[in-house]
């Protein structure tokens, strides 16, 4: 059994850790609330853009937009990986990095001669993928601190230019979808070229009046669709990150409390044993003196 000084040192260390994790939990809870509000407010708007695009595309023929053109030869892939800038958020970063590597291996097997590049949004993703010797390009990590649509537009312009000039034949978004504070889902979605499926059942479908025509409307919506898709992925990932960190700090605080209580019990047992030993020594000394 450890001596009393060692136990007291450990108790003080655990108490200090508990204060830190408890403070980080409160900070993460405040950030999580704001991020959750942002993503829940943006979801209906994003849903309506998708709904308008989906309903309009049913009434036009072949789309001629550059955003939807499939390349006959796919030689360049771009994987946009969204992680976090900071750690201490449980398995949030490790899960999405592991998922990204799985997607990379799948594409490498399916397209052996293709070049695969990573565009990372988040320091943790950049550091982890760079250590593996992969082709990694760093985006503006500060965007994750205060997401807004104007900063997202800069990323949108970079990706669209890469696609239009032929540097990227397919672009995928890889990120965590926010489910709850304790639950995230890793997804890989094709960003470019845009893949919009048409419904096969058109029974009793009333053609809406669209001016000047559905073709023009769809071509106007496509850039907004892409921009919203990128921004939605960022908001989802940020909310998932703060939720994961809040949950991790809550668990760490509970573990610190349990360890603190265990050390107190161990300290009291050691102190009781020391007192009992001292009493026995005193009694033994007294008995020895009285027997003389």
pLDDT in tens, 222-247: 888 899 999 999 999 999 999 999 99
**Cis ω for the linkage preceding 212 (within 30 of 0):** yes
Within a domain: 74: yes
Distance (Å, whole) CA 173 – CA 118: 10
Within a domain: 258: no
**Residue 290 CB partners (closer than 8 Å, separation 6+):** none
Q: Quick check: 186 and 99 in contact, CB under 8 A?
A: yes
Within a domain: 214: yes
88: left (phi over 0), alpha (psi -120 to 50) or beta: left
Q: Give the lowest-confidence range in 26-35, 66-75, 176-185, 232-241.
A: 66-75
Q: Would you please indicate which residues are annotated as catalytic (active-site) residues?
A: 89
- CA-angle at 36, arms to 35 and 38, nearest 5°: 65
**Domain count across the chain:** 1
Range of the domain at 221: 26-196+207-247
Within a domain: 274: no
Q: What is the SS3 assignment for 172?
A: strand
Within a domain: 108: yes
- On the question of pLDDT at 202 being above 60, the answer is no
Within a domain: 256: no
The pLDDT of residue 281 is 74
- On the question of pLDDT at 125 being above 80, the answer is yes
């Amino acid at each position: 059994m450890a001596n009393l000084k060692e136990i007291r040192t450990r108790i003080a260390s655990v108490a200090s850790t508990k204060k830190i994790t408890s403070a980080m939990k409160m900070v993460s809870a405040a950030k999580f609330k704001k991020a959750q509000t942002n993503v829940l407010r943006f979801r209906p708007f994003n849903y309506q853009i998708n709904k308008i695009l989906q309903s309009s595309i049913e009434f036009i023929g072949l789309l001629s937009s550059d955003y939807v053109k499939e390349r006959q030869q796919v030689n360049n892939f771009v994987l946009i990986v969204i992680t976090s800038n900071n750690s201490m958020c449980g398995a949030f970063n490790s899960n999405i990095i592991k998922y990204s590597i799985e997607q990379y291996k799948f594409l490498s097997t399916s397209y052996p001669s293709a070049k695969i590049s990573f565009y990372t949004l988040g320091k943790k993703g950049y550091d982890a993928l760079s250590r593996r010797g992969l082709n990694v390009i760093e985006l503006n990590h500060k965007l994750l601190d205060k997401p807004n649509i104007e900063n997202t537009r800069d990323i949108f312009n970079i990706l669209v230019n890469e696609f239009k000039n032929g540097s990227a034949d397919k672009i995928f978004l890889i990120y965590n979808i926010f489910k709850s504070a304790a639950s995230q889902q890793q997804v890989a979605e094709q960003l470019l070229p845009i893949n919009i499926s048409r419904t096969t059942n058109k029974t009793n479908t009333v053609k809406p009046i669209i001016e000047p025509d559905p073709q023009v409307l769809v071509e106007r919506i496509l850039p907004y669709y892409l921009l919203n898709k990128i921004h939605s992925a960022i908001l989802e990932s940020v909310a998932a990150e703060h939720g994961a960190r809040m949950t991790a700090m809550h668990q760490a605080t509970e573990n610190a409390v349990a360890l603190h209580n265990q050390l107190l019990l161990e300290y009291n047992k050691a102190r009781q044993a020391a007192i009992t030993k001292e009493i026995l020594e005193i009694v033994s000394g007294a008995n020895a003196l009285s027997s003389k």
